Amino acid sequence: MRLLMFALLALSTLPCSWASTPIIRNELREVNQLLIVVTENWASTKGKLVCFEKRVNGTWSSVFQEHFPVLLGKNGLAWGIGVHPTQKEKMKIEGDGRSPAGIFKVGKVYGESESLPKGSDYPYHKISEHDAWVDDPKNPFYNQHVKIEKLKDKPNWFESQRMRLGDPAYRWLIEIRHNSNLPKPGYGSAIFFHVRRTPERRTTGCTVMSITNIENLIKFLKEKKNPHYILLPRKEYDKRRPLYKFPKL
């Protein structure tokens, strides 16, 4: 009876869209790695990334002794589109300078190197002059990776959407799959983990860290463990933790 009352209480404290849908619970049953950043509030522009792996008994264990300091969007957070129920207010839009909050599947790694850091085992795509990532909401390939076979046949829009080469900040890009499943034009694109430019420079929406930490993160990721990223303000995280069995921070 006490457990039932606790579950009902947990449901009553959540927004209706979170409490009434099984999306997150079904998704997280298959997740065995979590990357979590919990911020002080919606206006926060930095935080600490904690990596968790699920034990055999279903509980979560922190992996690294040190948390990874990260920088976020220069204007804080706004709700993104991920595996969590879509929110109706405070949504991220293209160019707002906010990082998407919510729960997101982690996509593949992109970079210019021939291979991932030694010890890594994760899907990787080597970027070349043939690769673009579209951030134009009017483009039918909005928020998608596009690779063309022949440069002489490139479409007119390709040059403006080409993935940047020779930039140390983009040495490694780990896709955060925000607004990725049938992307909605204008709701934000090209969201990644990548290398920070300086210890204080915020982003336009990505989550950035030192090159040492991002390479450790890449080595931690395993595709078969279905890694997901949670980015939420503390109040939102604490509301949802009991029901969805998020790790205790």
For residue range 161-187, what is the model confidence (pLDDT) as tens digits? 999 999 999 999 999 999 999 999 999
Q: Supply the pTM of this predicted model.
A: 0.90
- Domain assignment of residue 249, yes or no: no
Q: Bridge-partner residues for 61, per DSSP?
A: 53
Instruction: Decide if 189 contacts 183 (C-beta within 8 A).
Output: yes
The predicted pLDDT at position 88 comes to 86
- Domain assignment of residue 40, yes or no: yes
What is the distance in angstroms between the CA of the first residue and the CA of the last residue of the chain?
27
The predicted pLDDT at position 229 comes to 98
Print the domain residue range for 60.
2-244
Q: Which H/E stretch holds residue 160?
A: helix 158-161
Low-confidence ranges of the chain (pLDDT < 50): 1-16, 19-23
Helix (H, G, I), strand (E, B) or coil at 173: strand
The predicted pLDDT at position 86 comes to 87
Instruction: Count other Cβ atoms within 10 Å, centred on residue 56.
Output: 5
Across the chain, the runs of DSSP E, i.e. the strands, are 33-39, 46-54, 60-62, 68-71, 77-79, 99-111, 124-126, 131-133, 145-147, 172-176, 192-195, 207-209, 228-233
Number of domains observed in the structure of the chain: 1
Tell me the C-alpha distance between 100 and 98, whole Å.
Answer: 6
Instruction: Count other Cβ atoms within 10 Å, centred on residue 118.
Output: 7
Instruction: Count other Cβ atoms within 10 Å, centred on residue 16.
Output: 9
The predicted pLDDT at position 26 comes to 60
| DSSP string covering 201-243 | --BSS-EEE-HHHHHHHHHH-BGGG--EEEEEEHHHHHHHHHH
The predicted pLDDT at position 7 comes to 40
pLDDT tens digits, residue range 200-229? 999 999 999 999 999 999 999 999 999 999
Listed residue (51, 72, 66, 42) closest to 209, CA to CA: 72
Listed residue (51, 53, 74, 81) closest to 64, CA to CA: 51
Instruction: Decide if 94 contacts 135 (C-beta within 8 A).
Output: yes
- Domain assignment of residue 141, yes or no: yes
Listed residue (222, 230, 231, 232) closest to 108, CA to CA: 222
